[in-house]
Amino acid sequence: MSSPLVVIAGVGRGTGTAIALKFASKYPVVCLARNADNYNETVGKVNASGGKAIGIRTDLASADSVKGAFNQIEKEFGVGYGLAAAVFNASTRPVRKPFLELTEAEYVGGYEVLGRGAFLFSQFTLPRLLKSVAQSSSSSSSSSSSSYPPTLIFTGATASVKSSAQFASFSNGKWALRSLSQSLAKEFGPKGVHVSHAIIDGVIGIPSTLDSMKEADPATMIAPEAIASAYWYLHTQPRSAFSWEIDIRPFCESW
């Protein structure tokens, strides 16, 4: 029986990569992203260091594309695989615009990945997370099952709890995502799957941000590795103590 996997949706060059590297130290990792450039280096690094990773180009807002991705996972790892963790780290680029200048496509665009995409990702991962719960119960001593409760984590933002002027498009998707995470936490917690939501409240120090904000001090930003550590901690929480929500911000953040 194979080891349970970890699937990460939204592996860009910042947070997603850090999460992939963190979880790859224990599990085979599948990286989903629209652009293979985003995960190729990470996948190579994991495989070179003795871990196992694959990347699959996926449009999370498309049911066909998501289905295709999970078919490919099955081909790669066999039909019986379970999931130790699934991380929904995908997002949309925040649109900042006076409301009356927003097009319908821009507004509902905020929902495509964060609403529809999160639904599709949850639909495909929850049965595999539940499978891991069953495996843990039936053979808790087996090396093939994770010793931590299967975990589904969603990445949120400041905009998940505050809806600012001119950010209606971004926040409507982020609020929808947070509501999904809460409903799933309540439905699947009792079934043994730990569902969490992280409010990332601050600028993340990813390469593209550091390039574009040259005058900013990286020490005032959230390190992607610190988010990965937080997700790993959430994953290690025992059934006895699940956290649904955690906020994460730099020490100097004003809030």
Q: Which stretch binds a copy of itself (CB under 8 A): 14-22, 87-95, 139-147, 168-176?
A: 168-176
Q: Which stretch binds a copy of itself (CB under 8 A): 2-10, 74-82, 136-144, 241-249?
A: 241-249
**Which of 7, 20, 230, 235 is in the footprint of a copy of itself by CB under 8 A?**
230
- How many CA atoms within 13 Å lie on the side-chain side of 114? 26
Give me the helices (H) in 14-115, please.
15-24, 37-48, 63-77, 104-111
Closer residue to a copy of itself (CB): 34 or 242:
242
Q: Which is nearer to a copy of itself, 213 or 252 (CB)?
A: 252
CB atoms within 10 A of CB 35: 12
Sign of CA dihedral 44, 229, 130, 114: negative
Distance in Å, CB of 37 to a copy of itself, minimum: 26
CB of 211 to a copy of itself, least distance (A): 18
Stretch of 3-11, 26-34, 74-82, 238-246 contacting a copy of itself, by CB under 8 A: 238-246
Among 2, 47, 183, 208, binds a copy of itself (CB under 8 A): 183
Q: 59 is written with which tokens?
A: 């449009």
- 249 CB burial (10 A radius; 0-12, 13-18, 19+): middle
Q: Among residue numbers 102 through 131, which ones bind a copy of itself (CB under 8 A)? A: 102, 104, 107-108, 111, 115-116, 119-120, 122-123, 126-127
Q: Which two tokens stand for residue 212?
A: 């574009």
State yes or no: residue 235 binds a copy of itself (CB under 8 A).
no
21 binds a copy of itself (CB under 8 A): no
- First and final C-alpha spacing in the chain: 48
Closest CA to 12 of 41, 30, 38, 50: 38
- 255 near a copy of itself, rule: CB under 8 A: yes
